């Protein structure tokens, strides 16, 4: 690995993450180097804390922790001593905040707001899945009568994307859940039980279903983008800004379009502000890495015209913001 890195002469992009051992709970910091080799193939290597002869770095991707921002400042100060060509340009665009981590922060905020409604539906799904007889009893309330235990996935609470899949599928069976609530005594008795002295949340009410329905409309936007950005065997840098634009325009449209659902608009407005905190190129507190804008320009299918369309979509055609970003992208290139 050391030989390949020293011979490639390519700039490395580095990511860091914390891996936790499943049995001991011990935490390990993992450093991964990414680069394109001489044969134009993407390489990914886990490296250790030692001198690897790395002299040229492009970006370092870390999660959005205050300690990481401090670490990046210290790294730049030290790495400048390697030479003028060590960073691009002089480390101004070195620090890149993990996009999927930012998405995770925004989604978790939305989940917390309606935690009880999500818990009620989760408990309902858990009840139906708990035995074959209960699956059959639930199936009797369906018109198609083709439900299986796999038709209602149960989520992993720490993984919001699995929660989205559970809620999205449960919404399709809402009528069956409402019927079993009206007709099935064991189902209602299940929610009278206590867990560690606390009554089990549920059964889901109409307000729970409506709240989750609003949430799912947001989660699908983030879920689709997470699928794109979580690819581990292909380059995703040129796709990031497109996903940012897609998410921002969708959320902005919901937050500004008058309609009967005021709660949906409020939630969209809160999420939009959270997005702006991290992905606003004109932000003051958290600076957006401008290379996210430049990366898709190198895609021969997009080039500068793509960037121009993105700026117009976000800020309006001919706006001062769109013109400024277009000029900035050309300047960086």
Mean pLDDT in residue range 114-127? 91
Q: Cα–Cα distances in Å, from 130 out to 127, 153, 174? A: 5, 12, 18
* Tens of pLDDT, residues 203-227: 999 999 998 988 888 888 889 988 8
**Per-position DSSP letters for 195-209, written without gaps between them:** ETTEEPP----HHHH
* Tens of pLDDT, residues 289-299: 888 888 888 88
pLDDT of residue 4: 74
Q: In whole angstroms, what is the distance from residue 257 CA to residue 262 CA?
A: 10
Sequence length of the chain is 333
This prediction's pTM:
0.78
Phi, psi angle pair for 84, to nearest 5°: -65, -25
Q: In whole angstroms, what is the distance from residue 140 CA to residue 177 CA?
A: 11
CB distance 121 to 204 below 8 Å: yes
Could you tell me the pLDDT band of residue 109, with boundaries at 50, 70 and 90?
confident
- For β-strands 57-62 and 12-20, DSSP reports them as parallel
**Per-position DSSP letters for 215-263, written without gaps between them:** HHHHHHHHHHHHHHHT-SSS--HHHHHHHHHHHHHHHHHHHHS--S-HH
CB distance 118 to 125 below 8 Å: no
Which helix (H) or strand (E) is 60 found in, with range? Answer: strand 57-62
Q: In whole angstroms, what is the distance from residue 115 CA to residue 212 CA?
A: 10
Radius of gyration of the chain (CA): 24
Q: Pick from 242, 234, 97, 124: which is nearest to 188 by CA? A: 124
Residue 47 pairs in a beta bridge with 31
pLDDT of residue 120: 94
318: left (phi over 0), alpha (psi -120 to 50) or beta: left
Mean pLDDT in residue range 258-276? 76
* Tens of pLDDT, residues 30-82: 888 888 877 888 888 888 767 777 888 999 998 877 888 888 899 999 888 88
Mean pLDDT in residue range 98-124? 84
- For β-strands 42-47 and 57-62, DSSP reports them as unpaired
Could you tell me the pLDDT band of residue 284, with boundaries at 50, 70 and 90?
low
Q: In what order do the strands lie in the sheet with 27-36?
A: 42-47, 27-36, 12-20, 57-62, 95-97
- For β-strands 12-20 and 194-195, DSSP reports them as unpaired
197: left (phi over 0), alpha (psi -120 to 50) or beta: left
Encoded tokens for 73: 């400042």
Could you tell me the pLDDT band of residue 191, with boundaries at 50, 70 and 90?
very high
pLDDT of residue 288: 81
Q: Pick from 216, 203, 192: which is nearest to 128 by CA? A: 203
pLDDT of residue 100: 85
Which helix (H) or strand (E) is 147 found in, with range? Answer: none
Q: In whole angstroms, what is the distance from residue 102 CA to residue 99 CA?
A: 5
């Amino acid at each position: 690995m050391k030989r390949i890195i020293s011979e490639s002469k390519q700039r490395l992009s580095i990511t860091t993450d914390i891996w936790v051992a499943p049995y001991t709970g011990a935490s390990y910091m993992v450093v991964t180097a990414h680069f394109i080799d001489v044969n134009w193939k993407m390489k990914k290597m886990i490296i250790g804390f030692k001198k690897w002869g790395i002299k040229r770095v492009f970006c370092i991707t870390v999660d959005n922790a205050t300690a990481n921002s401090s670490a990046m400042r210290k790294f730049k100060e030290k790495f400048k001593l390697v030479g003028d060509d060590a960073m691009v340009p002089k480390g101004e665009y070195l620090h890149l905040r993990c996009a999927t981590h930012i998405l995770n922060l925004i989604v978790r905020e939305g989940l917390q707001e309606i935690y009880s409604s999500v818990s009620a539906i989760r408990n309902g799904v858990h009840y139906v899945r708990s035995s074959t007889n209960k699956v059959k009893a639930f199936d009797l309330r369906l018109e198609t009568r083709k439900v299986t235990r796999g038709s209602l996935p149960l989520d992993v609470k720490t993984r919001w994307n699995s929660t989205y899949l559970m809620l999205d599928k449960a919404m399709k069976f809402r009528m069956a859940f409402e019927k079993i609530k009206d007709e099935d005594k064991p189902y209602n008795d299940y929610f009278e039980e206590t867990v560690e002295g606390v009554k089990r949340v549920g059964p889901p009410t109409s307000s729970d279903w409506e709240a989750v329905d609003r949430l799912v409309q947001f989660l699908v936007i983030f879920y689709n983008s997470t699928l794109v950005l979580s690819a581990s065997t292909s380059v995703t840098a040129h796709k990031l800004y497109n996903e940012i634009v897609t998410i921002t325009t969708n959320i902005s449209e919901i937050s500004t379009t008058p309609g009967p659902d005021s709660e949906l608009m409020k939630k969209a407005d809160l999420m939009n502000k959270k997005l702006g905190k991290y992905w606003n190129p004109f932000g003051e507190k958290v600076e957006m890495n401008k290379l996210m804008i430049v990366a898709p320009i190198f895609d021969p299918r997009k080039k500068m015209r793509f960037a121009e369309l993105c700026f117009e979509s976000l800020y309006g055609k001919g706006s001062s913001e769109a013109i400024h970003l277009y000029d900035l992208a050309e300047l960086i290139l």
